[in-house]
Structure 1
Amino acid sequence: MGFAAASSHRLPLFLTDADVEKLAHWPTAIAAIRSAYADSMKGQPTPGRIFAQTADEWIRIMPSIPASGRLFGSKSIAGSFHDGLTVSYLISLFDKRTAELVALVDGNRVTGLRTAATTAVAAALIAPRRALVVGVIGSGFEARSHLSALSHELAFSDIRIFSPTPGNREELAADVLASGTSARAVDSAHEAVAGADLVLCAARSRDESPTVRSEWVAENAAIISIGSTTPAQRELPIELIGRAALIVADSVEEVMHGSGDMIAARESGLDIASVTVSLASAVGAGKPLPSEGIRIYKSTGSGLQDVVVAEALYESARSAGVGTLLPVGIVTNRK
């Protein structure tokens, strides 16, 4: 049943991956994230990830009740090892007043959309306020989505891109150049990072070792680190984290205890807690953060980001007549 042909607004709306692609809009996603983190200083329950696992399957639940908006819900990530690794993402949204199921959203593209939108909000707080030389490690989906999102918050003077596959880095550089920004592929991570104002780490290391070295990074650079979201993953070296004047974390507890970078830094004896602040406090403070010294944004992702971006997509879908109204809903009981 198509959305336009349906008559009941009580029926839940389903958004496919193709619907999300059609509706995705960086300024809307960035605004939703900024509002959510500004309002989160009022308090909202966004617990850590809930994880269940067997030898062959796993499921992760990321719930949140944002202070902003009128919906709440969770993202579920289901994985199976029965035929390699296959993964599905589903976001469920409920009305805060009635607890009725409002929407089911394919979370595949939402994950990338909310990650890059959150990075854009954080980067606007920690990056130098001028046209930036950007060093990019990676040339895949995350690198592309982050450059696109960042372009709505920051100005670029030059972008240097490295990934291990020459064709991939050259293709991304050509695409960025075609969009009107100076960009070039370079032959090493060192060449990409050296002297950059902003370093975007968007490539998982092949052996879980850091993808940059501390000595490459300029004194007052801003670092975006999004690729170390489990205890086993490493992206930034201990020496670089030790130089940090400021670390902004989208979720302090999960970054401190769920990112391999930060676990290694703490185990080495570094007092990273003294320089770490939450993204919520940084946004909510409403004033610029320190502009000197190494400033790092570390992200592991959260259900808050998924839910508020999914709600923004839902509102856009209702306005545009996009999506499919399900023919049935679920029972909502009055207790």
Structure 2
Amino acid sequence: MKVLTAADVRRTVSMPAAIDAVREGFLELAAGNFVLPARQIFGDGTVLVMSAYHSPTGTAVVKKIGINLSQVPAIRATVIWTGGGEQLVADGTSITTLRTGAVVGVATDLLAPPDATRLTLIGTGAQAADQVRAVLAVRRIATTTIAGRNERRATELAKTLATEFPIVTFTPTTSIDDAIATPDIICCATSSTTPLFTADALPQNVHVNAIGAFRPTMRELPRDLLATADLVMVDQREAALEESGEIIDALAKGALKESDLLELGTALTTKPNPTGRTVFKSVGVGCQDWSIARALANSDD
């Protein structure tokens, strides 16, 4: 049995490699090659269990997640991967942030303007840095604004990322309105229960990723953005309908129809050609964890 720490995960799978792995995972999902049971939720959402079974290879992954939004990191998880007589147990917290960043990289590569140079990140929690790493892996970003309620945390994150990406200018701020006025790409990674901004505060041409709200009671995106966006993409329609507060609200109010939701796997097989405002909403699905765990299991390290 292979046991991997968070440091092992990071050393073994880079963000570009994670993006490639997750992209392949969603192509496999679109091909119908996964069995994805509904996420099990316990303790009013404080404990989650996710699983995925890949039929062609007979491999499977199970992830147990504990969530406490009052601590950092808010998510603590363990991943178990089995296949071919081999078993891998790995730090699931690092896998979760890595695969969540990776899926944003896949979506951004599909929907964001090819010449995008300006990024805004809203949120300074455990998921935040991998959102930036993923976008920088697929676009030549020159400037990144980091918006957070806590000025110290925004400044610390900006300094950390500036060391990692010295050719990018990082600017911390506590003003979301200022941060969203001019970017080409926005990443939302917060635990907000109310929308972070209004649609009329955004540029006319912008791609927005939202990964923070994973319960029906949580919302990062405003209803008017979902109603007016040229394209709204989700990781998986079924998961979004069960867990995304923004999507559930927009459907209930008639701002969206289920048929308006484009699945990521479908977009990878028939690439869209969007203009104007685009949105990617992710709540996370088991094939992402499987993709990273398979990369770890197949590594020579």
TM-score, normalised to structure 2, is 0.89
Higher relative contact order (CA 8 A, sep 6+): 1
Match of 1:121 in 2: 106
Match of 1:181 in 2: 168
Match of 2:296 in 1: 313
Structure 1 CA distance, aligned partners of 2:127 and 2:43? Answer: 29
* Residue 31 (structure 2) pairs with residue 42 (structure 1): yes
Summarize deviations over 1:262-318 as a string: whole Å, max 9, x none: 111111112332321111111122x3x2331211000000111001101101222xx
Distance 1:53 1:106, change over 3 A: same
> How far did residue 53 of structure 1 move?
3.0
Percent of pairs with identical residues: 26
Distance 1:221 1:200, change over 3 A: same
Match of 2:255 in 1: 270
Q: Look up the equivalent residue of 1:201 and give its one-letter code.
A: C
Summarize deviations over 1:7-36 as a string: whole Å, max 9, x none: xxxxx2222333223323112211111111
* Residue 258 (structure 2) pairs with residue 258 (structure 1): no
Higher CA-based Rg: 1
* Residue 289 (structure 2) pairs with residue 301 (structure 1): no
Match of 2:82 in 1: 94
Q: Look up the equivalent residue of 1:29 and give its one-letter code.
A: A
Match of 2:204 in 1: 219
Structure 1 CA distance, aligned partners of 2:106 and 2:287? Answer: 14
Structure 2 CA distance, aligned partners of 1:109 and 1:259? Answer: 22
Match of 1:239 in 2: 224
Q: Is the Cα–Cα contact under 8 Å of residues 77 and 91 in structure 2 kept in the other structure? A: yes
Structure 2 CA distance, aligned partners of 1:102 and 1:47? Answer: 20
Structure 2 CA distance, aligned partners of 1:111 and 1:129? Answer: 27
CA RMSD of aligned residues (A): 2.5
> How far did residue 87 of structure 1 move?
6.6
* Residue 186 (structure 2) pairs with residue 199 (structure 1): yes
> How far did residue 77 of structure 1 move?
2.4
Q: Is the Cα–Cα contact under 8 Å of residues 226 and 256 in structure 2 kept in the other structure? A: no
> How far did residue 254 of structure 1 move?
1.2
Distance 1:58 1:257, change over 3 A: closer
Which of 195, 199, 202 is the aligned partner of 1:210?
Answer: 195
Summarize deviations over 1:134-191 as a string: whole Å, max 9, x none: 1221123222111112211111132122101112222223334442102212341010
Structure 2 CA distance, aligned partners of 1:79 and 1:142? Answer: 13
* Residue 46 (structure 2) pairs with residue 71 (structure 1): no
Q: Look up the equivalent residue of 2:21 and give its one-letter code.
A: A
Structure 1 CA distance, aligned partners of 2:30 and 2:151? Answer: 44
Which of 134, 144, 147 is the aligned partner of 1:159?
Answer: 144
Q: Is the Cα–Cα contact under 8 Å of residues 211 and 283 in structure 2 kept in the other structure? A: yes
> How far did residue 261 of structure 1 move?
0.8
Structure 1 residues 136-145 or 12-21, which shifts more? 12-21
Unaligned runs of 5+ in 1: 1-11, 321-335
Which of 5, 17, 25 is the aligned partner of 2:6?
Answer: 17
Q: Look up the equivalent residue of 1:291 and give its one-letter code.
A: P
Structure 1 CA distance, aligned partners of 2:127 and 2:75? Answer: 17
Distance 1:112 1:130, change over 3 A: same
Structure 2 CA distance, aligned partners of 1:86 and 1:234? Answer: 17
Q: Look up the equivalent residue of 2:61 and give its one-letter code.
A: G
Q: Is the Cα–Cα contact under 8 Å of residues 37 and 52 in structure 2 kept in the other structure? A: no
Q: Is the Cα–Cα contact under 8 Å of residues 46 and 303 in structure 1 kept in the other structure? A: no
> How far did residue 52 of structure 1 move?
5.1
Which of 53, 59, 65 is the aligned partner of 2:42?
Answer: 53
Unaligned runs of 5+ in 2: none
Structure 1 CA distance, aligned partners of 2:75 and 2:114? Answer: 39
Q: Look up the equivalent residue of 1:75 and give its one-letter code.
A: K
Q: Is the Cα–Cα contact under 8 Å of residues 212 and 220 in structure 2 kept in the other structure? A: yes
* Residue 277 (structure 2) pairs with residue 290 (structure 1): no
Distance 1:173 1:58, change over 3 A: closer
TM-score, normalised to structure 1, is 0.81
Structure 2 CA distance, aligned partners of 1:121 and 1:92? Answer: 24
- Equivalenced residue count is 296
